[in-house]
Amino acid sequence: MIAVRDLRKTFITPAAEVQALAGVDLDIREGDIFGIVGFSGSGKSTLLRCLNLLERPDSGTVTLAGKEVLTLDRKQLGLLRQKVGMIFQHFHLFDSRTVRANIGYPLEIAGTDRVTLQRRVAELAELVGIADKLEAYPGQLSGGQKQRVAIARALANEPRVLLSDEATSALDPETTRSILQLLKDINGKMGLTIALVTHELDVVRAVCNRVAVLESGRVVETGEVGTVFGNPRSAAARKLVEISRGFREGTLFTDGGGI
């Protein structure tokens, strides 16, 4: 479904050149819920944004659903993006639009007729559990409800792939669990391939079947979640597991540890 080969990206700032991706190779199978983890600055969000060219890599290849993304012209890329939904940490909703209008926005852009648009919006609102909030505005919603709107909007054009960039990081633990369960349900019902960037190992454990660990812009370990976290081979994976265990046991800052 998604194949990445030798992906490289450098950001040039007045202060320095920062190599965000240093030759990433990655395969995500159709129907996977695939976790991408790593410490801050490891390149995981840049990698995710390169999959649909929200960030254009300097070199390498990205093949998504059989199409080489970097070779597509503007029109072809627009059509491909309709089949790649994306959800973000801070929701990115239109404050001046109702929930109904937020969900329907991608359908408007795609030129969907009004009857079909309204039917699809109602179906999606029911799917994500916000059918009673269609006339509300984002400012009237909780964080979890906003993320459900964002998920519904990302599903509007019936995508084959859903990209999630730290989508639960701004949510409390109970709301996080409900959103993760929703993603699992969507994956099961719709057969979506989901690529999920997070720094929280518990999120990966809860929903992902496979995971890649990034460090300094490279994939240093990949495999089944139970294998990677149960017997980590890379130093980065071992440190992530150690820190996660410290948070769980409440000992992270009692022994000189820290992030």
- Give the residue with greater pLDDT, 42 vs 169: 42
User: Which of 43-47, 49-53, 90-94, 243-247 bottoms out in mean pLDDT, i.e. has the lowest?
Assistant: 243-247
- Give the residue with greater pLDDT, 36 vs 82: 36
**Residues 152-189 pLDDT 10s:** 999 999 999 999 998 888 788 889 899 999 999 999 98
The mean of the pLDDT values for the chain is: 90
Instruction: Place domain 28-83+160-259 in its CATH homologous superfamily.
Output: P-loop containing nucleotide triphosphate hydrolases (3.40.50.300)
Q: What is the DSSP string of 58-91?
A: SEEEEEETTEEGGG--HHHHHHHHTTEEEEETT-
Residue 78 confidence class, pLDDT cut points 50, 70, 90: confident
Q: How far apart are CA 137 and CA 29, in angstroms?
A: 37
Burial class (CB in 10 A: 0-12, 13-18, 19+), 241: middle
Q: Kindly report the CA angle at 80 between 73 and 96, in degrees rounded to 5?
A: 105
CA–centroid distance for 152 within its chain: 14
Beta bridge partners of 26: 4
| DSSP state at residue 139 | G
Q: How far apart are CA 33 and CA 28, in angstroms?
A: 9
Ranges of each domain in the chain: 28-83+160-259, 90-158
Q: Residue written as tokens 């649909």?
A: 52
Tokens of 56: 């254009």
